[in-house]
């Protein structure tokens, strides 16, 4: 089993999980770096298709762990926070990516890829349908992630209007939320250059002891609905329909060209543990993300992993 030498939600792993081998090395500045490799199926001929598939899967997992480092330490029910959650994040995403690569390795005309595959040696954040959380909460509330495009120069978490000056109880219920439940909207932000890409998150929640019969207005909503984010946001509540918008409009300052996949994760405390929904990043692009966002298909990058 893989163990951590740098703990917490930023934990780095060393050891073996399935056929994945983790190692920890140091960068030139002395900081730790996660290394990932495949357990060798054979010590001979490293350029077989099986070895190339394994190398590509490892490359994807390394990029996922780098890109979604803010989420690896949480998100999986009945798994301890921190190092064990990091290991679970790696395991479940490894299984999904490996299955897709193996299934479509020899299908050059297949276009419905779930990931933006990297060429060998690329180390920038990559987009795709990565798994962020798994749990027993069945949630599909009226809280949405509105993406940024080349024409819409903002992205936001939008809570649809559900009535004029609602009570806290009505506002939560109409969005399929509960006292103490945390919602986080996740956005892959495509940078103006590949190295500028990153994952943004916008969060809202209420305290577990929030007063349910109080009326929410534009003047007092912050007393009941808490927010946080890793990007600058403007927030406003509408008295006319009870909608809430948490919007990032600083795309030029952040050097973001548009957003790609988005995810909606909810979390709720249950005694000493947390419960989660099943959250997988989703793409909504027309006609497909290869054309809309410039994703590289498996067939585009396959030669580099075969070392041709």
Judge if 100 and 223 occupy the same domain: no
Q: How confident is the model at residue 9 (pLDDT cuts 50, 70, 90)?
A: very low
Angstrom distance (rounded) from CA 158 to CA 177: 14
Q: What is the pLDDT of residues 71-107, one digit of tens each?
A: 989 999 999 989 899 999 999 999 999 998 988 888 8
Residue 282 lies in a domain: no
Judge if 49 and 86 occupy the same domain: yes
Judge if 164 and 36 occupy the same domain: no
Judge if 161 and 268 occupy the same domain: yes
Residue 154 lies in a domain: yes
Residue 144 lies in a domain: yes
Judge if 192 and 245 occupy the same domain: yes
Judge if 80 and 140 occupy the same domain: no
Judge if 202 and 228 occupy the same domain: yes
Q: List all residues 6 or more positions away from 294 whose beta carbon is below 8 Å from its beta carbon.
A: none
Judge if 223 and 180 occupy the same domain: yes
Judge if 162 and 91 occupy the same domain: no
What's the number of domains the chain is made of?
2
Residue 32 lies in a domain: yes
Q: The whole model's pTM is what?
A: 0.85
Domain that holds residue 299: 3-121+295-303
- State the pLDDT at residue 6: 43
Residue 98 lies in a domain: yes
Residue 284 lies in a domain: no
The residue that leads in pLDDT, 108 or 119, is 119
Residue 21 lies in a domain: yes
Residue 84 lies in a domain: yes
- State the pLDDT at residue 110: 73
Q: How confident is the model at residue 49 (pLDDT cuts 50, 70, 90)?
A: confident
Judge if 92 and 157 occupy the same domain: no
Judge if 221 and 197 occupy the same domain: yes
Judge if 149 and 213 occupy the same domain: yes
């Amino acid at each position: 089993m893989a163990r951590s030498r740098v703990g917490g939600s930023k934990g780095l792993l060393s050891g073996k999980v399935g056929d994945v081998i983790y190692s920890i090395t140091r960068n030139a500045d002395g900081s730790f770096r996660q290394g990932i490799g495949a357990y060798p199926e054979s010590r001979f001929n490293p350029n077989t298709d099986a070895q190339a598939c394994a190398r590509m899967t490892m490359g994807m997992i390394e990029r996922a762990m780098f890109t979604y480092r803010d989420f690896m330490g949480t998100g999986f029910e009945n798994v301890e926070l921190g190092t064990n959650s990091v290991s679970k994040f790696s395991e479940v995403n490894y299984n999904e990516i490996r299955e897709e690569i193996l299934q479509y390795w020899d299908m050059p005309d297949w276009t419905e890829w779930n990931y933006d595959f990297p060429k060998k040696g690329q180390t920038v954040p990559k987009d795709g349908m990565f798994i962020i959380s798994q749990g027993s909460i069945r949630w599909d509330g009226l809280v949405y992630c509105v993406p940024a495009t080349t024409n819409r120069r903002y992205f936001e978490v939008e809570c649809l209007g559900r009535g004029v000056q609602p009570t806290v109880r009505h506002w939560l219920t109409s969005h399929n939320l509960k006292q103490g439940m945390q919602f986080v909207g996740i956005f892959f932000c495509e940078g103006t250059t590949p190295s500028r890409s990153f994952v943004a998150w916008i969060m809202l929640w209420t305290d577990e002891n929030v007063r349910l019969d109080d009326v929410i207005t534009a003047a007092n909503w912050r007393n009941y609905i808490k927010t946080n984010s890793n990007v600058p946001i403007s927030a406003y509540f509408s008295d006319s329909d009870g909608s809430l918008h948490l919007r990032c409009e600083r795309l030029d300052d952040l050097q973001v060209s548009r957003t790609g996949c988005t995810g909606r994760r909810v979390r709720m405390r249950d005694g000493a543990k947390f419960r989660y929904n099943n959250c997988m990043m989703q793409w909504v692009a027309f006609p497909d993300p290869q054309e809309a966002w410039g994703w590289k298909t498996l067939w585009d990058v396959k030669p580099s992993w075969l070392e041709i």
